[in-house]
Amino acid sequence: MLAGIAFGVGAALMQAVSYLLSAFFIKRYQTSAAKHLILVHIVIGFVSLLILPMVWHPHATQLNSYVLPLISAACSYMFGQYSLYQAIHHSAASRVSPLLGLKIIVLALIGALYFGESYHALQWGAVLLCVIGAIWLSASGGTISGPALLWVIAACCGYAISDLSVLKLMQYFSALPLTQAAILSASLCYLLCGSICLLFWPRIKSYSQLIASTPAALSWLIAMFFLFACFSEIGVVFGGIVQSSRGLISILLAIILALIGMSFADPIPKTRVLVQRIIAAILMMCAIVLFSLGDGSYT
């Protein structure tokens, strides 16, 4: 369990770093988030192609045995990303991003209703605490519009389906060492995502911006290696709760960058708002402890 939590925290940290690097890119090139998303995944797809020979295993040649979870993981993830950027288009990112914590309740409900999973009272309390923390964290940035909220819900559903598909994909490669299985599964998934985004390259054709997107792309891919391993170790519900620690990590990184004068970072908020955000993020961290005390996970 401790290894799974460590993988989840590692994923949260690298996701937070990737977010900040993306903010730097968008600020520097004055480009849209959607364009950056495409560039990042083209880079990720190319790097995944380079990595595959190093982690290849004969199991991967039996494509018909895992093609459905692979396609589901990639396509539902891309749908979730599209929905997220639509939500950000209708409302501020600071209000939208924390609400992705609602994915936890979607995962828990899918597990309970469709896969017959049962959770202890402490575990349901952890899910509820994580949701409360996400909503409170979002509210600190102001109210969110109706259309943005609907797109957030769509994003959570897309990410939840992707997470469950990733778990199925990891189960197929369960005979492999965990690190190899995680890197192989993530590389296959993001090679497919990169191939999809490559279709939009003729409209962009900016090699300088493609290269500049590499830091954000690499940090995101590393985060996914950690996340795939996390899901395999402790399941998607518990893993999702651990992943929500990126809220606190993002706040701390943003404060540090603002203090040293990085212009692309959000300005330090008022004391009341800052305290509210930190307490909300700590609530999500407490959810990790509660779920682990429940002595179970979705596997």
Query: Which residue type is seen at 203?
Result: R
Burial 124-151 (b: 16+ CB within 10 A, else e): bbbbebbbebbebbbbbbeebeeebbeb
CA distance between the termini of the chain? 12
**DSSP 8-state symbol, 269:** P
Structure tokens at 35: 């364009």
Q: Say how far apart CA 130 and CA 124 lie, in whole Å.
A: 10
Q: Which of 294, 243, 282 is closest to 133 using CA atoms? A: 282
What is the 3-class SS of 51-110, one letter each residue?
HHHHHCCHHHHCHHHCHHHHHHHHHHHHHHHHHHHHHHHHCCHHHHHHHHHHHHHHHHHH
- The residue ranges of every structural domain in the chain are 2-293
pLDDT exceeds cutoff 80 at 293: no
Q: Say how far apart CA 129 and CA 280 lie, in whole Å.
A: 9
pLDDT exceeds cutoff 70 at 264: no
User: What is the per-residue pLDDT across 69-78, written as a single tens digit (0 to 9) for each?
Assistant: 999 999 999 9
The per-residue pLDDT for 43 is 97
Q: Say how far apart CA 245 and CA 243 lie, in whole Å.
A: 5
* 177 or 267, greater pLDDT: 177
Q: Which of 254, 186, 250, 178 is closest to 222 using CA atoms? A: 186
CA 153 to chain centre: 15
The per-residue pLDDT for 247 is 67
Strands (E), the chain: none
Q: Say how far apart CA 33 and CA 43 lie, in whole Å.
A: 15
Residue whose structure tokens are 């939208």: 96
The per-residue pLDDT for 297 is 43
Say whether pTM exceeds 0.95. Answer: no
User: What is the per-residue pLDDT across 130-175, written as a single tens digit (0 to 9) for each?
Assistant: 788 777 766 766 677 888 888 988 988 999 999 999 999 999 999 9
Q: Give the number of other CB atoms < 10 A from CB of residue 275.
A: 12
Q: Say how far apart CA 119 and CA 90 lie, in whole Å.
A: 35
Which residues make Cβ contacts (< 8 Å) with residue 18, sequence separation at least 6? 216, 217, 219, 220, 223
